[in-house]
Amino acid sequence: MFRCNLGSSVKYLASLSALGRHHILQNSRCFLCRMSTSPNPVAAVCQVTATPDKEANFTGCKQLLEEARQRGACMVFLPEGFDYIGSSREETLSMSEPLGGDIISRYTQLARKLDVWLSLGGFHERGHDWENDRRIYNSHVIINNKGDILSVYRKSHLFDVELPEKGVSLKESAFTIPGPSLVPPVQTPIGKVGLGICYDLRFPELSLALQRHGADILTYPSAFTVATGAAHWEVLLRARAIETQCFVLAAAQVGRHHEKRSSYGHALAVDPWGEVVGDCGREKPGMVLVEVNLDKVSRTRKNMPVQQHRRDTAFYHSMSQTCL
């Protein structure tokens, strides 16, 4: 069902049940690897198939969260569009909610009940001037195990791409407001987590900025198209891990959401050396549990001190006109 890659400091521990499009297939769980007794914290990186049915999506995600907690995860990562993926601009906007609305409220209650931290990547949040402009933010919300919202990052790079030969045509800026800024990495039970969303993955300046501000882990909850995912998903995630010497955890959407859209899948975990240590595959929803050993971050940075070798910002904006 999934590829199982075992790394030296982050171990791919388990895969989870398949979820139906509008219901949960009970008792269809397949655990490839059993929980380790290591003292390192465990994170669950999830893969889902969201549809326009918000209630079915919540039910499926709730099942994943409960299973992850039972298997020992202290933080769970859900992908972009975990709340829903609409079939039209009008549907996407009509189903959006404010940050204090029902969906996020239900997840704060669930985090408190399960005693688990949540990364909710890509919530359709109504903009601050919703009544006038009817536009939304694509928001990454971090909730602690007490049910408190600790951080909200609003996606800053919007996916406006036309690839006719690949069958890709999306203009996120038609209904989404770009976020105003990055947010500082969040201290969590698994380490300091730097927040991005999907298309942000293509901009190394963002990942380097988060690393400079103390990130041990970068996370890119995503809904990559099938065409761009097949071409770029893994190589970009590995590049971000290698250049920052961070763990990279990337929850993903998978499969067919409705008649107009499908996603690539392959929710991944990558270690600071750039090794893929967990891969959910591209067939169906599920999760990988990864054991996060931050000693791997410090050892990698000590043995290859890339950031110490980096020149000052002015150097990278300079260009000699002299030809020798």
* Residues designated catalytic: 80, 155, 198
Torsion of CA 287, 51, 129, 101, to 10 degrees: -70
| Secondary element (H or E) of residue 241 | helix 234-244
Supply the DSSP symbol for 312. Answer: P
Residue 117, both tokens: 């931290």
| Secondary element (H or E) of residue 279 | strand 276-279
3-class DSSP state of 188: strand
Closest by CA position to 116, among listed 61, 161, 168, 163: 61
Q: Are strands 252-258 and 247-250 parallel, antiparallel or unpaired?
A: unpaired
Separation of alpha carbons 312 and 176, rounded Å: 34
Residue 290, both tokens: 């990864």
Separation of alpha carbons 254 and 139, rounded Å: 20
Supply the DSSP symbol for 8. Answer: S
Supply the DSSP symbol for 239. Answer: H
3-class DSSP state of 87: coil
* Number of residues that this document lists for the chain: 324
Phi and psi at residue 217, to the nearest 5°: -135, 135
| Secondary element (H or E) of residue 298 | helix 295-303
